[in-house]
Amino acid sequence: MCWSAQADAVAGGLVAGIGVACLVRAHRSGRPERLPLAALPLVLGVHQLVEALVWLGTNGQLPDGLTGAARTTWAVIALPLLPVLVPAAVWCAATGRQRWMPAALTLLGAAVAVPLAVAVAAHPVSATVHGHTLGYAVGVPYPALLLAGYLLATVGSLLLSGDRLLRRVGFLTGAGAVVCALLWHLAFVSTWCALAALTSLLLFRWAGHRPTAGLAHAAGRNR
């Protein structure tokens, strides 16, 4: 997700640190329903730290067994885990009438995760240097269809959450993913780590923020 092992290690440590702070802030706010989404930056940070190991392995600095385990771990987080974790975490944090949409998108994310998990289990994960980026190959079936479902489950759940700050996270993630994917395709530089850091900072703000007026009103009417 970054352009080198060193960059991934530094960015991963930073994002993971923000993730720990998010969890602490959500816990202190007295809103345990926010903990799953507050944990997302920690997951993203660990993901980047794992990719630092993948970089070292592609450079011949790690044993093949450890490199293979790092590639598989990276793929498990990126493919089957995130499309379930993100909408499920939004679902946990939602209130009142806002809950049905992330609930439906969690089911979609689970449907997307199943073939992705099968692909990771059935095929060895490979990683090759692509300019200043890493390119992964897993052997995913129907990639365009699964990508559409993946983005709808993850970015869509944030955009449709009904929470103003989470909508900002969704807009940032969606627009940032387009820019990052373009730069990756050009093999210029991988900027996913910067997107993860910005998203994590917004989630840190959200973790201790009061619900928007509309959400609070909806929650009150449903008590």
How is residue 201 written in tokens?
């900072």
Q: pLDDT tens digit string along 153-181? A: 999 999 999 899 999 999 999 988 887 77
pLDDT digits (tens, 9 = 90+) for 68-97: 999 999 999 999 999 999 999 999 999 877
Write out the residue range of the structural domain in which residue 210 sits: 5-221
Residue 32: left if φ>0, alpha if ψ -120 to 50, beta else—which one?
Answer: alpha
Q: Could you tell me the pLDDT band of residue 218, with boundaries at 50, 70 and 90?
A: very low
Strand pairing category for 133-137 and 126-130: antiparallel
Distance between start and end Cα atoms, the chain? 43
Number of domains forming the structure of the chain: 1
Percent of the chain with pLDDT over 90: 70
Helix axes 40-58, 82-93, angle to 10 degrees: 170
* Rounded-to-integer distance, Cα 64 and Cα 77, Å: 20
Q: How many Å apart are CA 217 and CA 101, to the nearest integer?
A: 18
What is the pTM (predicted TM-score) of this model? 0.89
Residue 123 is given by DSSP the state: S
Report the C-alpha gap between 49 and 53 in whole angstroms: 7
88, 104 contact by CB (below 8 A): no
pLDDT at 184: 58
Q: Name the nearest CA neighbour of 94 among 160, 29, 42.
A: 160
